[in-house]
Structure 1
Amino acid sequence: MWMVMWRGILLFSPSLHFLLILHLHHPHIHFVSGKRIWSNEVLSCNEVIEAQRGPEGEWMGLRGNITSPDFPHPYPARIQCRVDLKAPPGYRIRLVFTHFHLFHPLNRSNDNCEAMDALTVLDWAGTGTGGTGGRIGRFCGPGIPSSVMSSGSRLTLNFRSITSGTHVTGYKAEYSFVRDFGLSSGRQLDSHPCFFQFNSTIFPSGEICSPNPGGLYPRNTVCHYEFRGHPRQRVRLVFKYFDVEGVAPCSAKSDSDYLQFSTIGTKEDILPRRCGRFAPKVVESEGPDFLLSFRSNDKYDGLGFAAKYQFVWRKDREKDKGVLRPRSLPASEASEGKENPIITLSAILVFWRLPSLLLMPL
C-alpha cells in the first residue's frame, strides 16, 4: 500500500505507478515519510537531523529549518511526528521559532496543551541512551514561543495533532548547532565550554546575557563572565532584566539557580547569591578584576538575565551615589543571605518614632 498527501488528504493506492502519474499531473502533491496506524487512524512520521563531516573534516549542516507537515498550509488531523536533532559533541542545539499557530478551540496560547494539538520539546542530556527526555516545554494554540536551547547535544520535537482547521498553519523553527551559547560579546575560552573574558582595552563596554538570550536558559549549565581592567578601573553592571529560577537565599537546599558576584583572587569579597526576579539595578566591583558566575540545575528554567557593563575610572566612580558595591562578607553569611544590620536598625528607629509622629499636630 502506497500513499501521498494531497491538500491535507491522504491518498492510498496499491500501485506506485498510479501515484507517480498523479504526481506528474499535480506537482504540488508530495510524498509523506510515514505509515498509517490503522488501530487509531494516526499518521506517524519520524525524522533525524544531524550534522555530517565534510570532505575536509569540517562539520556541515549546522543550521536549517523544521516545519510541521504541509507547512505553510494547514497540517493534517490525527498525526504524530517526531524530529530528533543530534548536534556534534560539545555543541548545543538552539531553536528559534518564526511561526506558530496550532488549533485551539478557545484560541489561547499554551492553555491545557495536554488535550490540544501541541508541540513538545524534550532534552536528553544526562538521561543515557535508554532514558526518558526531560521536557523543556509544551506549546499549543497561537503565539510564537520563546527560543529554546538544549543542555546537551540532543533535542527531540514531538508534534501531535488531534484536529485541524483551514486557518491553522502549524509551526516553523530555525535550528542551529552552536558552541557559543547564543552569546556574541567577550572572548570565549576554549578551556571551558561557557567562559567569556572581557578585557577593558578590547571590550570597554557592552552587554552580557545568560545563555540563549531572549529565551529560556538551558539546564545543567555553568557560565562564567570574567572582567579584567586597569588597576584604577572598576566594573559597573546595570541590569536590564532578571529572571533566574529560585528562592532566597538561593542555596543548594532550595534547588535554586543563581547568579554570584565575586572579586577575582579572593573568596570573601562577594555579594549574596541572587535568584528569583529581583536583583540590584546597579552593581559595581571593588577592584578591577570581577567575576560573575551563573549556574542552572536540571529542574527548572527562566528567562535569565541581561545587563550592560562598563569599565569606569575611579574619579567617575566617586561621583555616583546609590550604587551597590560588594562588601567583605564571610562566605557563610553571603550564601545564607543575612540581612544588613544597618537596614534593620533603621527600620527599628522608624517604628520607635511612629507614635510620636502620629500625635504631632497638623
Structure 2
Amino acid sequence: ACRALVVGWSRCCAPRLHSFRLPLLCPSGIKCGGVLSAPSGNFSSPNFPGPYPYETECTWLIVVAEGSSVLLSFSHFELEYHAACAYDYLQVYNGAARDRGNLLGTFCGRSPPPPFSSAWHVMAVVFRSDRHVAKRGFAAAYRKDACGGQLTGLSGEIASPRYPESYPNDAECRWSIGGPGAGPLTLVFADFQVEGGQGCGFDYVALFDGPAATAPLLGRYCGSTRPPRTVSSSPHLLVLFKSDFNIGGRGFKAHFYSAGECQEVFTTIKGNLSSPRYPSFYPNNLKCQWSIQLPPGYRVKVFFLELDLEGRSSLTGGCDYDHLSAFDGGSESGALLGRWCGRESPAPLTSHSNHLLLALHTDRNTARRGFSITYVGVVPMNVSCTRTDFHIQIPVQSLAQLERDRIYLGTPSCAAQVVGGNFKIHTRFDTCGTESQKRNNTSVIVSTLYIDFSAGVQEDIHQYELQCEPRRKEASVTLIAGPDPARLSQAENLLDAQQREGAATDTREIKSQDTSDIVFISICILAGLLMLIAVVGLVLL
C-alpha cells in the first residue's frame, strides 16, 4: 500500500482516494504529484524553475470540501511545443485523472492554460515529459471557492456550502453555468432542504435563464420540496443561492448537463442519433433522453450501429454504471425493452407502440465512445398467402397521410383498396410483378410492396420484399429499401409474434384466403375422376 504521497519513487505505485487511482511515474529522487487537500496551495513541475526531468509523469489530485469548487490558475508555463501536444504536455481534468469524459484541456508550449473552475470538488492535473527537450515547466496555484463559480463543462455538479451539513448564514453564491458552443442547459436537483417561508423571502435558490440576474427568472425555491427539472432556453444558466442571518438547513445538491446533444425529440419516419460528442468520449454525469414519437399505428425499429460504454459491474454483473436503456412509450416509467453497457451488440428491437424512449445514464468515472443508432418507423402490416394468392392488410391510420395509390404491389396498377379501416391488396401470384424463385432449395414466390412517402422533388419510397412458400402457406416481409438500406440489415423479418397472432385470429379473413385452395383441390379431384373414367372406357373397349 502507498502511504506517502510525495516521495521519490522510480515508478510510483498508485494510491487510492475515494476510489480514484493516481497513475504516477517519477524518477528516483524527484518529488512529483500527490493529493492536495488544503483549502488553497501551490504546486509546480519537478525542479521548477529549473528544467524538468525527462520521462516524468506526475498527477496532482486536488480535493476540497464537498459543495465547493476548485479554482486553478497558472503563473508560469513553458513546456516543449508540439502542434498536437504529443511530446511534453499538461492535462486538466474535471474530476478523476485519466477520465477522458472529464478532460478540460491538454496544453503545451509557452501559452499558459486559462483559469479553471471545477464542476465539483475534485480536480486533477497531469504532467508528462518525454525523453527529449526539457523546459522550465510550470507553476500553479489553487484555492477552494466557498461557493459559486464559472462552470463551462458539458456536465457537472453544484452544492450549497458545507453540504450535507447545515449551510452558513449570510451566504450568497452564484454559479454561472454554460458558455459558447453549449446547448440549452438542464438542471436537476438531487436533494433540497432550505429554510422555508411565504414567498421564499428568507433563504432561497433562484434560477435565471441567462448568465446574469438580469435574465428572465425561471423560478425561486425554498422549503424541502425539490424544484422541478429546469431547462434553459439558451446556453447559459445562473443559479443564485442566498441565506439570511438565522435558521439554516441541509442545503441542496444538483447536477447539470448541456441538453443540446442530450435531450432531443424525433418525429420523422427515420433518423439517426448518437451519444454526446460521438465518436469522441462522452461526458460524465449525464442523464440524456431521446424520445422518438411517430404517427399513430407506427412502431419504432431501432438498429444499433455501435455501442461502447463502461462495462458491467464485477460484483453484480449488471449495468450499474454507464448504461443505455430503451422504454416502450414516452417515459422511463414505461415497459423496459432493454438495458445495455460495455461493448455489447444488441439485436434490433421494435417498440409495441408509436413512442419509444432511449435514456443514457453516465456516472462521474470512466467514459467511452458511446453509441450510434439508426431507427425507422415500421408500418404494421399483416401479410399472408395461400398457394395462389398474396393478402396484404395495413391499418389506414398508419399511413393516414397517403392516398391508396401510393401503396402498391409490384407496379402502380396494383394499388391498394380501402376496405373498412384498412388498405388491402389481394392479388394472384401471376400478376403484379410476382415471380417464382429458388431459395435454399425451396421454391418461393417473391414480390415487392412499395410505400411512396415522396414529397415534392424529394423521393422517399420504402420497399418491402414479400415472400411466400406456397406449399406451407407461410409469408414473410422484409424491409429492403427506404431508410438508408446500406446501414440496415436487409434480412430483418418485420413480422413479429403480435402480427402473426393478429393474422391468426382473423378467422373470416382466413376463410376467404382459403377459398382459392378449395377450388384448386376440387379441380384436381375432378381431373382425376375424368382420367379414371377414360381409362375404364378404354379397357371396356
TM-score range, shorter chain: 0.3 to 0.5
Give the TM-score of the pair, scaled to structure 2.
0.30
Instruction: Point out the structure with max Rg over C-alpha.
Output: 2
Greater RCO, 1 or 2 (C-alpha within 8 Å, sep 6+)? 1
Give the TM-score of the pair, scaled to structure 1.
0.43
